[in-house]
Amino acid sequence: MSHWAGKYVIGLTGNIGTGKSVVRRMLEHLGAYGIDADALAHRVIAKGAPGYAAVVDYFGKYILKPDGEIDRGRLGRIVFGDPEALAKLESIIHPLVRQGADYLIRRATQPVIVVEAIKLIESSMAKQCDSVWVVYAPPEIQLARLMKNRGMTEKDARQRIVSQPPQEEKIAAADVVIRNAGTFDETWKQVVAAWRKYVPLAEEIPSQAVTAPAIKGQLQIERGRPHHSSEIASLFNRLDKKGKPMTSEDVMAAFGEKAFLLLRLDQQLKGLIGWQVENLVARTTDIHLDPALPVNEAIPALIQEMERASSDLQCEASLVFVPPSLARHDGLWRNLGYQRTTPEALEVQAWQDAARESMPAGSVLLFKKLREDRVLRPI
């Protein structure tokens, strides 16, 4: 019986570089509400958060940046080679992360929840989950991903890999094992098969069109799905003839990082936005529109649907990154409630981190608060 009444909770884990986050996003595409325990761990030690003082008291002000926030890189270097220090840090953070996850699960309207946590099995949360899913990748794949995606040296990457328990230990405790060593499509098929087999409350979100009423039904918006990958690639290539041609495989890989909203005019794909929700922050990094589309109608239709979907995921704020050519439509963005800003000017550390992590080069940051109450303020 589920620890959370009316919810089916998937505990998702795996060693570093196996692709846990990619699998979590796949489950989100299927309708699950995703929680990243690592992101919660970052929030609970932010300045003003409940874990901040305890961490600073134990490790000292040496770990602080000039602005008073904890330098996670410096803290990581301290605990990485000191098991006792790591255990102390975890004793501070983990109870707060469990409390935050519990709060988000209880608030979520979705019947299926996926909690991604690298130490899920070692913690008490695994016993509260309805099923445990483990993502596996061969060590050589882990190594390549860490060097490519995180910029690690081969020496550092190997050290991180061997410092973790063998993957076989996690596999032994798993209800589902996802072998993430091939293409996105191969992994996606495993996830869909396991979803249909193990998740009794789940029904894949239907790809329903949402009519934009202000445009008298001419434009329709629908949630993109992996089977739209060829159509999306074709749109990218048609609108950007200067860049490297995009393939359907490229788009499939992008589904491991973000979701797409598709805009159709008379059933023809004419525009889209790509966005992701991480740590209760919506981040729109792609906006592509056919030049024939009316910007003052197409943008509001897409942005408002993105906000609606993001609010369903308890988002606190929306960050939209646009090229200067779209940013110059000041009146349009003001009417939608957005203001130009910089990452440094955002009032919440988690929002600043999201902006710095996601902001494409040469783009303009537009910000909107989606709710006045901070979701994790009680934690």
Residue 80 has pLDDT above 80, yes or no: no
Average model confidence (pLDDT) across the chain: 90
Core vs surface per residue 259-277: b (16+ CB within 10 A) or e: bbbbbbbeeebbbbbbbbb
pLDDT over 70 at 136, yes or no = yes
Higher-pLDDT residue of 3, 28: 28
The reported pTM is 0.85
- At residue 84, the pLDDT reads 92
Q: Is the pLDDT of residue 204 over 60?
A: no
Q: What is the model's pLDDT at position 377?
A: 58
Residues 6+ apart with CB under 8 A from 296: 329, 332
SS3 of residue 242 by DSSP: coil
Give 376's pLDDT tier (boundaries 50, 70, 90). Answer: low
Ranking 51-55, 218-222, 266-270 by mean pLDDT, the lowest is: 218-222
pLDDT at res. 263: 95
Q: Confidence band (pLDDT; 50, 70, 90) for 79?
A: confident
Return the percentage of the chain with pLDDT > 70, whole number: 93
At 283-330, the pLDDT tens digits run 999 999 999 898 999 999 999 999 999 999 999 999 999 999 999 999
Which residues are annotated as part of the binding site?
17-22
Here the tokens at position 260 are 């797409």
- Domains of the chain from N-terminus onward: 8-198 (3.40.50.300), 209-369 (3.40.630.30)
At residue 123, the pLDDT reads: 81
Instruction: Please give the annotated binding residues for ATP, written as ranges.
Output: 17-22
Report the pLDDT averaged over residues 186-199. Answer: 94
pLDDT tens for each residue of 346-361: 988 889 999 999 999 9
Mean pLDDT over 149-161 rounds to 88
For every residue of 303-346, DSSP letters joined together read: HHHHHHHHHHTT--EEEEEE-HHHHT-HHHHHHTT-EEE-GGG-
Tokens read off for 209? 């069109």
How far is the C-alpha of 130 from the C-alpha of 114, rounded, in Å?
10
pLDDT at 207: 46
Strand partners for 268: 265
pLDDT band at 1 (very low <50, low <70, confident <90, very high): low
Q: What is the pLDDT confidence band of residue 208, given thresholds at 50, 70 and 90?
A: very low
